[in-house]
Amino acid sequence: QSALTQPASVSGSPGQSITISCTGGSSDVGSFNVVSWYQQHPGKAPKLIIYEVTKRPSGVSNRFSGSKSGNTASLTISGLQAEDEADYYCCSFVAGVTWVFGGGAKVTVL
Amino acid sequence: EVQLVESGGGSVQPGGSLRLSCAASGFNFNTFWMHWVRQTPGKGLVWVSYINNDGTSTNYADSVKGRFTLSRDNARNTVYLQMNRLRAEDTAVYYCARDIANSFFDWGQGTLVTVSS
Q: Are B37 and B103 contacting, i.e. CB atoms less than 8 angstroms apart?
A: no
A105: nearest Cα among A3, A1, A34, A2: A3
Kindly indicate the confidence band of residue A2, based on its pLDDT and cuts at 50, 70 and 90: confident
DSSP calls for A3-53 = PBB--SEEEE-TT--EEEEEE--TTTTTT-S-EEEEEE-TTS--EEEEBTT
> How many A/B residue pairs have CB atoms within 8 Å?
63
Write down how long chain A is: 110
C-alpha span between A93 and A51 (Å, rounded): 11
User: Closest Cα partner for B47 from A77, A64, A34, A3?
Assistant: A3
Please provide the size of chain B in residues.
117
What's the pLDDT tens digit per position in A31-86? 999 999 999 999 999 999 999 999 999 999 999 999 999 999 999 999 999 999 99
CB contact under 8 A, A91 and B104: yes
Asked if B45 and A100 come within 8 Å (Cβ–Cβ), the reply is no
Amino acid at A2: S
Characterize the bridge pairing of strands B111-115 and B10-12.
parallel
Question: CB contact, 8 Å: A34 with chain B?
Answer: yes
Mutant choice from B1, B46, B62, B104 vs A, greatest count of A C-beta within 10 A: B104
Q: List all residues 6 or more positions away from A65 whose beta carbon is below 8 Å from its beta carbon.
A: A50, A54, A56, A75, A76, A78
Q: Which pLDDT does position A26 carry in this prediction?
A: 87
Q: How far apart are CA A67 and CA A21, in angstroms?
A: 10
Tell which of A35, A50, A53, A99 to mutate to test the B interface (max B CBs under 10 Å): A99
Residue A95: pLDDT band with limits 50, 70, 90: confident
